[in-house]
Chain A
Amino acid sequence: MLADPHPARIVRDPPREGEGKTPLLTLSGISKSFPGVRALHDVALSLYPGQVTALIGENGAGKSTLVKILTGIYQPDAGEINVAGAAVNLPTAHAAFERGITAIHQETVLFDELSVAENIFLGHAPKTRFGTIDWGTMRSQAREVLDAMGAAHIDPDTRLKDLGIANKHLVAVGRAMSIDARIVIMDEPTAALSAKEIEELFLLIEFLKGDGKAVLFISHKFDEIYRIADRYTVFRDGEMVGEGLLKDTSQGDIVKLMVGRSVDHIFPQREAHIGAPVLKISGLSHPTEFDDIGFELRKGEILGFYGLVGAGRSEVMQAIAGITRTSRGSITLEGEAIAPRSAADSIEKGIVYVPEERGKQGVVIGMPIFQNVSLPSLKRTSKSGLLRLAEEFALARKYTERLDLRAASLSQDVGTLSGGNQQKVVIAKWLATAPKVIILDEPTKGIDIGSKAAVHGFMAELVAQGLSVIMVSSELPEILGMSDRVVVMREGRIVAVHENKGLDAETLVRTAAGIVAQ
């Protein structure tokens, strides 16, 4: 498996045609639903040996669900998975691993405290004749694997946590190589890499191609996709909407496939009544996350924040909400300079942040709906520290019913609700604090169409009442359908601010990805 010592430096033939060759992996008719959400519907995908297939789609298009099916985490409701011509089941993560399917995703496959060699060989380490682990052989084999990949600079004895993210990726690939994986899935591998590291990763992918692996490459960045991939498959709303060879397809065509949408969701019609500036941010900076952020939010306005995943939008919003600290810059709310040091501070001042990570940061599972809603407003619903349940129920009812929450009762554990309904509880919770500014981070991520409509309708209502909204979203239709103005961020900086008049999706995608207009 490690025949060529320096294959990464070999210039390969131009990508061969996929047609005519047998795919290594084919998916057909795959469907997967979660309560209230149809994540995948009848999708197909083919991966060819020695070729890189880019999987392209917006957030919520079903990419991560597909990856989880391929790696044995989720079981599809319907459909067939074929590996090398034979239908297979992938009931567990380990089963997928044994079929030679590996995902390069450091958090789920690597061990920070163990050495590089061990990360590569855990579970299939070379043994001595006494059945003990043969560290010597393991180290030298790890060395071989790393050298073959062009990663000679990584010492097999280093603890993984002492490596940078780029090198961790290399180790993950090394692990895939060591089990002779035939299908390698790379889910946003370049998200936190520098330009130089990305180049190194590409050399590595070239090496995998040369070795006959089938690579599934998931990225939002078009320059990368065109640089490394041979084929593309586009997902939209859980369906496969197009596939083909990249050399025959322009970026514009792919953007159209991504954003073109059936008329299943109509955004609320509204007349914007925009007033004076409410929130003014200037020069806001953080040592590693964002730099020199400045913008204005006006009364009754929905300000969209668009960018690729990892552009630093959530980080900026969390800083404004007092959750993380900034190194420089000022926040002015209604003419008064504020410096919130905690979420409690900012809520008191009238700025609330509705987080993206619903399960981790939003709902308190294990507590009933009404207690979730009243949590940030306890000061108002209680009297000298004593709870007043009637007030809490009234508050919870007021907001959850406006959001059309579907629940049997307000005393139900919030964990028993579907994702969409949990999101309504989360939004209700922060709205109930009667804020002046509400920041919604990916407010409709992973929720069903019905809940989406309820959330959008409600946002329109809020601004009509004079509230100001910042909406961070990676979904183009949402950005275009809801925003009055759109701020675009890339790599921790604001790169453009557009009035949402005649703004088109392609412009936004290009600015966010840094593609120069043709």
Chain B
Amino acid sequence: MLSSYWDSVAVFLGINILMGVSLYIPMTAGLISLGQGGFMAIGAYVCAILTKSDVPFFLALVAGGCAAGIAGLVAGAPALRIRGIYVMILTLGFGEIVRVFFLNFESTGGASGLGGIRPLTELWQVIVACVIAYLMVWRIRHVRLGRAMVAIHEDDLAAEAMGINLTRTKLLSFSLGAIVAGLAGGFYAHQALFIDANQFDFSRSAITFLYVVLGGVSNPLGAIVGAAIVTLLPEFLRVVQDWRMTVFGTMLVLIAVWRPDGLLRAPSLHKS
């Protein structure tokens, strides 16, 4: 049996892997989001409010994911005409708007946060969610939607000329990512037991970005490696006590310089 400390570290690692996947999905279509924290917040709040009124945890998780998915459609709409760094800053702004909304929304605790959430998250549930998310990422390149996403990533004009519906594909990939982030938020709320708006601020989105880029954007397993490093490294760095973030930050710079394309390389191409 894991000790309760490592059990909780493992749950947070799983949640972070889910967040990494949530960013990886729209990235497959070339849409890089710096606002995943916003979707996570929506999932966390919706899920926590529902379980507080005695809705079963599983249903609440689904509802939280759906709410985040709808928000993904809303946030994705203005992102249709822009790309690259514009999308990153646009989603960043969206994440901030969500944070400010929950900071001021009195029905969910406002600035004082939402406490008294029941501890419903269990490790096996998070592991099952991660496995499902990975099966999805793994298979997505082999289905119509996934191939369309990759084509858009390569060249969206050519993709459109080939008859791919840009609007639908981009929105779907954005929304799919948001659903996963919403699920992660639901798990997070029932593990942390207290949530407030500032837990889902820009640094949450930026760290989610670190998982994927550090691990390697061209390899789906990169998000696991990246999330593991970013989650576990500060735990092991407790030896350096007060200078934890300095050591961690320096290591980020070194890894970025050493491996600009991430730690894992692209999986070798299988026979076509």
- State whether these chains interact: no
Residues on A close to B: CB < 8 A? Answer: none
